[in-house]
Structure 1
Amino acid sequence: MSTNELRHLIQKVATGATLNSEEIRTALETMTAGLATPAQMGAFLMALRVRGETVEEITGAAQLMRSKMTRVEAPEDTVDIVGTGGDGQGTYNVSTCASLVAAGAGMHIGKHGNRAVSSKAGASDVLAALGVKLDVPPPIITDCIIKAGVGFMWAPMHHSAMKHWAPVRAELGIRNIFNLLGPISNPAGVKRQVVGVFAAQWVEPIAHVLKNLGSEHVWVVHGHDGLDELTTTGSTTVAELKDGKIEVFEITPADAGLPPAKLSDLIGGNAEVNAAAIRDVLAGRPGPFRDIVLLNTAAALIVGGKARNLREGVEIAARSIDSGAAQRALDRLIAITNGRD
């Protein structure tokens, strides 16, 4: 794409027009290849953000990201539990802990994540604090998913083609289309996901994007308190993609047989603090963090076909913890990534 053609697409978005999936793929391809200036890249992201990204644009952008990523082989039934970040709440690492509990329940989890966005510690920060080695090659991650039930894909290792965007995004310092793309660009090509989003406006659109991308069973969720996961402080909006159809509904902790919590009970700290909280949950410690982990694990069990409803999912998740299976999944993950298995 020429510089003039790129300028035309930037101007098109800036005037409020939308791009089709081919146009956004072409524009992002040019920028990803380093053929655009930082000013052009920033202007493009801002124009999309101000006007509002469409389902077709997000679909096209995700297709480009997926075409560039370093892939990981994984079983067909592999599930991801992931959030966009950016909810600004600074909670414990719920989806990370839920991934370990789901693995202990016999699932294959391919978790894709990065360093902190809205919390004080992202998934990779906390897993590193737990002793998991992050910079391992794809075959090792495949081993983790198969043998431990859970493998972690650290985004920078799999999306190196996006390196030109990092300084632009850092300088802008605001949410942009990439906050939505990361969670839907899993290197293992998972088709079953629990995806938390930072704003309610994205719940149904992201379900439509994942349908376009070929996902089979998905819950896209946003808590009424702003959390990018299923919350235990009140209701959560869910868009479920199943059998090619999308249904939007609300769930509460009571639906899963869990007590309500206060948001203050879920606020975490740095990587070491959050890692200690995960160890406590895996050791069987009761409390609000365990409850929200059970709820999010239950959702993963539903999309993975292991539970029929939230109550059954919570029961299975609780057994994973109380039997020690979730802790064993973490221990095996640590051993494999550090070459001790």
Structure 2
Amino acid sequence: MAASMAGGFPVFLRMVAEGKVLSSKDAESAFEAIMGGDVSEVQLAAFLTALHVRGETPEELLGAVRAVRRHMLKLSHVPPHAIDVCGTGGDGLKTLNVSTATAFVLAGLGVDVAKHGGRALSSRTGATDVLEALGIPADGNIEKQEERLLTQHLAFLAAPLHHPAMKVAGSVRKALGFRTLFNLLGPLCNPAGVRRQLVGVFSSQWCAPVARVLGELGGVSCWAVQGETDEGPIDELTLAGPTKITAWEKGKLLQLDITPEMAGLPSMPVSELRGGDAVENAQCMKALFEGEKGCYRDTVLLNAAVALHVAGRGSILTEGRVSSQALKENLAMAMHSLESGLALGALTQAQRGVSPLSSGDAALPILS
């Protein structure tokens, strides 16, 4: 790869410590060394901290993604329109698990969801934590994951089981306690190789780079979103303010905005979405699927409405803009999943782990 690799990882560490920017090839080489186990925890902590302080670049992200994808344990048999919905974490708002709940809403409608996620590192409760509290343990059996995706429309891909090379990064990230480049890497390295993704990011400056990287690496419809709340940015669509979006659609980047009012939803402060530990968040999610209304429900509905577009199940774009009417129609589909019990059924089947969903006629046609 890059000539500077001749000096090994210390060369890259020295470069970022001096405030220099790595090319995508240098970043790929640096992360290849990390994934290969050639970097100590002390070196990795220094490297990630230097990147964080200076500010990571899109080229560094692209190189890192290429290296990490080479080392992940992949699924082979994946429906072509499978989608992932996940967030980067790192926003510090300690909210309820939105993307995980959204995955159940989508699966209830027959949308194939390869949900990637991990434990809490820079946040309080990760997807894997809340799933375990719901009685859905992490499972690294790839054949079973493929079967669940094909029969139940939903597979949970726990990051530690598919990214064993990242093991050293987990303890370092937890010790550092702030968001790092790995917050961005996880959502961009889905083990199912999905080409449709709704990714929440912790800062609007990363919306365009994330969408572009996903598109350049084969994405079909990839939306990077960051909500603006009364307490700062959030890594999902929000009711607390406008959501800034960069969407990769048909090989082009679109800059979009969505407000709760466009979907016919009331504006609510992010404090209404505050979560707790894994057990508390799991109880709130179950209550959501059993009919509880409020900010959590409406936030999940908004995210699911946009995810339906990304999955090709209901376009919300007209001449490069979000159609309020189409967004409301998608929201109605998501609401049907909740009110009919389909989302709860998806949860129940995931807890059983074997039987296919009986969503039958609820499965939506693929439009694009």
Specify the TM-score bucket, using the shorter chain as the normaliser: over 0.9
Which position in structure 2 is the counterpart of 1:320? Answer: 337
1:264 and 2:281 equivalent? no
**8 Å Cα contact 2:5/2:29 also seen in 1:** no
Q: Deviations over 1:13-54 (max 9, x none)?
A: 233332222211212222322223333222222222222211
Question: How many residues get paired?
Answer: 340
Which position in structure 2 is the counterpart of 1:153? Answer: 157
Shift in Å at residue 227 of structure 1? 1.3
Shift in Å at residue 109 of structure 1? 0.4
Shift in Å at residue 173 of structure 1? 2.6
Query: Which secondary structure does the structure 2 equivalent of 1:269 belong to?
Result: coil
What is the rounded CA distance, in whole Å, between the counterparts of 1:162 and 1:278 in structure 2? 29
What is the rounded CA distance, in whole Å, between the counterparts of 1:182 and 1:247 in structure 2? 23
**Which of 239, 242, 259 in structure 1 is aligned with 2:246?**
239
**Segment of structure 1 superposing worse, 6-15 or 132-141:** 6-15
What is the rounded CA distance, in whole Å, between the counterparts of 1:229 and 1:71 in structure 2? 26
Q: Which of 1 and 2 has higher RCO (CA within 8 Å, sep 6+)?
A: 1
What is the rounded CA distance, in whole Å, between the counterparts of 2:122 and 2:47 in structure 1? 23
**8 Å Cα contact 1:133/1:337 also seen in 2:** no
What is the rounded CA distance, in whole Å, between the counterparts of 2:116 and 2:228 in structure 1? 24
Which position in structure 1 is the counterpart of 2:65? Answer: 62
Which position in structure 2 is the counterpart of 1:14? Answer: 17
Shift in Å at residue 219 of structure 1? 1.2
**Which of 309, 316, 333 in structure 2 is aligned with 1:302?**
309
Query: Which secondary structure does the structure 2 equivalent of 1:112 belong to?
Result: strand
Query: Which secondary structure does the structure 1 equivalent of 2:209 belong to?
Result: helix
1:290 and 2:297 equivalent? yes
Which position in structure 1 is the counterpart of 2:102? Answer: 98
Shift in Å at residue 3 of structure 1? 7.7
**Segment of structure 1 superposing worse, 102-111 or 27-36:** 27-36
Q: Deviations over 1:154-191 (max 9, x none)?
A: 11100001123233333333221111101111100111
**8 Å Cα contact 1:132/1:338 also seen in 2:** no
**Which of 41, 44, 49 in structure 2 is aligned with 1:41?**
44
Shift in Å at residue 119 of structure 1? 4.4
| Aligned residue identity for 1:7 | P
Query: Which secondary structure does the structure 2 equivalent of 1:222 belong to?
Result: strand
What is the rounded CA distance, in whole Å, between the counterparts of 1:338 and 1:264 in structure 2? 38
**Segment of structure 1 superposing worse, 29-38 or 260-269:** 29-38
For structure 1, the residue ranges without an aligned partner over 5 or more in a row are none
| Aligned residue identity for 1:148 | Q
| Aligned residue identity for 1:130 | L
| Aligned residue identity for 1:31 | I
| Aligned residue identity for 2:189 | S
Which position in structure 1 is the counterpart of 2:117? Answer: 113
What is the rounded CA distance, in whole Å, between the counterparts of 1:2 and 1:317 in structure 2? 49
**Segment of structure 1 superposing worse, 169-178 or 181-190:** 169-178
Shift in Å at residue 275 of structure 1? 1.1
What is the rounded CA distance, in whole Å, between the counterparts of 1:148 and 1:281 in structure 2? 20
Query: Which secondary structure does the structure 2 equivalent of 1:164 belong to?
Result: helix
Query: Which secondary structure does the structure 1 equivalent of 2:234 belong to?
Result: coil
What is the rounded CA distance, in whole Å, between the counterparts of 1:264 and 1:81 in structure 2? 22
Which position in structure 2 is the counterpart of 1:185? Answer: 189
**8 Å Cα contact 1:25/1:64 also seen in 2:** yes
What is the rounded CA distance, in whole Å, between the counterparts of 1:58 and 1:307 in structure 2? 31
1:255 and 2:262 equivalent? yes
Query: Which secondary structure does the structure 2 equivalent of 1:12 belong to?
Result: helix
**8 Å Cα contact 2:239/2:267 also seen in 1:** yes
**8 Å Cα contact 1:84/1:179 also seen in 2:** yes
Query: Which secondary structure does the structure 2 equivalent of 1:7 belong to?
Result: helix
What is the rounded CA distance, in whole Å, between the counterparts of 1:31 and 1:272 in structure 2? 34
| Aligned residue identity for 1:177 | L
What is the rounded CA distance, in whole Å, between the counterparts of 1:207 and 1:217 in structure 2? 9
**Segment of structure 1 superposing worse, 84-93 or 6-15:** 6-15
- Taking only the aligned residue pairs, the percentage that are identical comes to 42
**8 Å Cα contact 1:32/1:162 also seen in 2:** yes
| Aligned residue identity for 1:8 | V
What is the rounded CA distance, in whole Å, between the counterparts of 1:164 and 1:264 in structure 2? 34
**Is the alpha carbon distance of 1:30 and 1:326 closer, same or farther for their aligned partners in structure 2, counting shifts above 3 Å?**
same
**Is the alpha carbon distance of 1:2 and 1:109 closer, same or farther for their aligned partners in structure 2, counting shifts above 3 Å?**
closer
**8 Å Cα contact 1:101/1:297 also seen in 2:** yes
Query: Which secondary structure does the structure 1 equivalent of 2:353 belong to?
Result: helix
**8 Å Cα contact 1:222/1:237 also seen in 2:** yes
TM norm structure 2 = 0.88
**Segment of structure 1 superposing worse, 133-142 or 242-251:** 133-142
Shift in Å at residue 71 of structure 1? 0.7
**Two-structure CA RMSD over aligned residues (Å):** 2.0
Which position in structure 2 is the counterpart of 1:331? Answer: 348
Which position in structure 2 is the counterpart of 1:24? Answer: 27
For structure 2, the residue ranges without an aligned partner over 5 or more in a row are 317-326, 357-368
